[in-house]
Amino acid sequence: MYIDIISYKLSENSDEDKLYAAAQDILQIWMKKQPGFLKWEINRNTDKDGYQDFVYWQDEASAKAAQQRMGDIPTDHPWMACYDMSTVSSKAVNQIMTFT
């Protein structure tokens, strides 16, 4: 499993309600249609100063292909407006073991 980890702060014009609504919409119209997409978690940092999303993919190839198709998302979709783009950073990990 491949996991994208995206860190960010919300834009000045956004709040968690706007983020939730935009995320619900983009999940239905785009993310769930991406081959290899498994799930998306949005997490608020415990200091409440930012967020981290974990996007789970079947493999790295699926994640990279979806990144290439992000241009298919309408530029006026409210999802991207939720982010303070100057604070966005990302990294990825390959999950090698899971314990429960």
At 36-68, the pLDDT tens digits run: 999 999 999 999 889 999 999 999 999 999 999
List Cβ neighbours of 68 (8 Å cut-off, separation of 6 or more).
none
Give me the helices (H) in 13-86, please. 16-29, 60-68, 78-81
pLDDT band at 75 (very low <50, low <70, confident <90, very high): confident
Mean pLDDT, the chain, whole residue set: 95
Q: What are phi and psi of 98, to 5 degrees?
A: -135, 135
d(Cα 58, Cα 54) in Å, to the nearest integer? 13
Of 60, 17, 19, 22, residue with least CA distance to 38: 60
pLDDT band at 86 (very low <50, low <70, confident <90, very high): very high
What mean pLDDT is predicted for residues 74-92? 93
Domains in the chain, CATH or no CATH each: 2-94 (3.30.70.100)
What mean pLDDT is predicted for residues 2-20? 96
pLDDT of residue 74: 85
